[in-house]
Amino acid sequence: MLNLLKKKFLKFLYLFFLGAISSYSLPPYNYFIINFFTFSLFFIFLFIEKKTSTNNKSFFKYGWFFGFGYFLCSLYWIAISLTFDESFKFLIPIAIILFPAFLAIFYGLITYLFSIFYSKNVVSTFFIFSILYGSIEFFRGSILTGFPWNLIAFSFSESIYFIQILSVIGTYSFNLICISLFTVPAIFILRKNRKEIIVCFFFIITSTGFLIFGNLKYNKFNTSVDIKNSFTIRAISPNISLDRFYSKQDELNIIQELISLSSPEKKEPTVFLWPEGVIPDSYLRDMNIYKELFSNNFGGDDLIIMGLNSVETKNSEKLIFNSMAVFNNKLDLIHSYNKINLVPFGEFTPFEKVLSLIGLKTVTNDYQSFSKGENQKALLIKNDKIEVKLLPLICYEIIYSHRLFNDKNFDYIINISEDGWFGNSIGPKQHFAHSIFRSIESGKYVIRSANNGISAIINPIGIIEEKVEFGTTGYVDFKESKILKPTLYMNYGDKIFFILILLYIFLIFSFKKITHE
């Protein structure tokens, strides 16, 4: 009995370490080569274990331990957001353990279903594993509010040629293929005949095709004509302390610091992009108290986009929104957008009426949950000298793909963020990597302004044209652009993912037939 428990413990420990090691393939490390070993060893373990075991419940635990190691080592930084408020500090050990433990349930579901659909044919089981893994990851990114963070596809966020295929198939389809690619060595090891090596060649050819496509797309983009805009978009990157939320800092000093960092010149029309939530005390409706300060510093053709809170009353209920507002230099409101994809426990408390009874509240404010905005739509920003249509994304919203492009008629994506909640950790770098994926998927420039984070101009093929490094202050200017046609993914979205799933099912039967001939 003791030997049996020891053997089980060693299995769980082995799978935990495979998952933990895989986490180093993600940004900012991007050691994607690791996954060829960890995923193949994971698959080989499951395949061999299923031959000798009929206990499907054990398979749930196998996936859970792999996922727990993966998420524990790649998402530990979430707990840093709880260090700014004394009343949250007791939750830090819970957050470090409980959140990865919850996400690991999805991986447990993958391996549990694997044990049910398992086939003795290596190739068939390989494709079943890929379908289950890719589909559950899609489910993870969609259920409830969704959390599509740290998909294994982000291992390639620095492999700029390879990820150009995102413009055709999108992140979830690419993630599915990455899972297969990383698991392919297992087929070579477990093969029973030469015909099974066909699958290995198939994915080698597919990967080569991605690289060729990426190289052609890269060259085509670089040889296309630059168009100079009649205005500048300037994304500001400050390092204003999060103490502004917990101690009464002088809001006027913060605004003056932002204006100084913006360096307005009044020579040419400029759209100034300020980060999320940098105004600590005033709601959107209160900003007119600074009207004279803005009119004295900004030109008549300038526009200022900033993140701040807004408040509305509906049916006698006070609603608070995390908003992005567009003002002219006289602080007249041109447009506003209320954030739609809110962060659970960061911006809203699920089951708030119940959980508030035990003292749980949101991390980013001390009064009540933010309310969800009504729709995601592009904003037409226009005055006598400026006309541009921008898709507004606030912070966390940049991590989604299939939800963002209902309104396809826009010029650029603007993303404002507050990354200070996660300190000097890998979190802000992981967050930034999503911007690269969104730019390629959409074929649009992403203009990002982050407080305590990375601000940048990212072009439609994912190249960072200008950047303010993490931990520094400054701004980036966007003046010239290249125009691309809407990407295939923009037009068809995740319909492509479901077509790819059907293709995988077809390949299961095709390769099964080949290996039996």
What is the reported pLDDT for 158? Answer: 96
The hierarchical CATH code for the domain 228-339+375-483 is 3.60.110.10
What is the reported pLDDT for 515? Answer: 59
Q: What is the mean pLDDT of residues 294-317?
A: 92
- Number of neighbouring beta carbons within 10 Å of residue 219: 10
Q: Is 408 exposed, middle or buried (0-12, 13-18, 19+ CB in 10 A)?
A: middle
- Mean per-residue pLDDT over the chain, rounded: 90
Residues 103 and 114: their CA atoms lie apart, in Å, by: 18
Per the listing, tokens 């054990």 go with: 58
- Evaluate whether 474 touches 234 at the Cβ level (below 8 Å): no
What DSSP element (H or E) covers 277?
Answer: none
Q: Give the pLDDT confidence of 358-411 residue by residue, as tens digits.
A: 455 555 555 577 888 888 889 999 999 999 999 999 998 999 987 777 778 899
Residues 491 and 473: their CA atoms lie apart, in Å, by: 37
Residues above pLDDT 70, as percent of the chain = 93
Residues 63 and 66: their CA atoms lie apart, in Å, by: 5
Higher pLDDT, 327 or 4: 327
Residue 517 has pLDDT above 70, yes or no: no
Q: Give the pLDDT confidence of 181-240 residue by residue, as tens digits.
A: 999 999 999 988 887 888 999 999 999 999 999 999 999 999 999 999 999 999 999 999
Q: Give the pLDDT confidence of 15-45 residue by residue, as tens digits.
A: 999 999 999 999 999 999 999 999 999 999 9
Distance of CA 448 to the CA centre of its chain: 14
What is the reported pLDDT for 354? Answer: 46
Instruction: Provide the token pair at 387.
Output: 């006309």
pLDDT band at 356 (very low <50, low <70, confident <90, very high): low
Q: What is the CA radius of gyration of the chain?
A: 25
Structural domain spans, the chain? 2-221+493-516, 228-339+375-483
Q: Give the pLDDT confidence of 467-510 residue by residue, as tens digits.
A: 999 989 999 999 999 988 889 999 999 999 999 999 999 988 88
pLDDT band at 1 (very low <50, low <70, confident <90, very high): low
Q: What are phi and psi of 416, to 5 degrees?
A: -115, 145
What is the reported pLDDT for 64? Answer: 98
Residue 140 has pLDDT above 50, yes or no: yes
pTM of the shown model: 0.93
Residues 413 and 392: their CA atoms lie apart, in Å, by: 6
Residue 357 has pLDDT above 60, yes or no: no
- Evaluate whether 280 touches 297 at the Cβ level (below 8 Å): no
Q: Give the pLDDT confidence of 423-435 residue by residue, as tens digits.
A: 899 999 999 999 9
What is the reported pLDDT for 219? Answer: 96
What is the reported pLDDT for 365? Answer: 58
Residue 59 has pLDDT above 60, yes or no: yes
Helix (H, G, I), strand (E, B) or coil at 421: helix
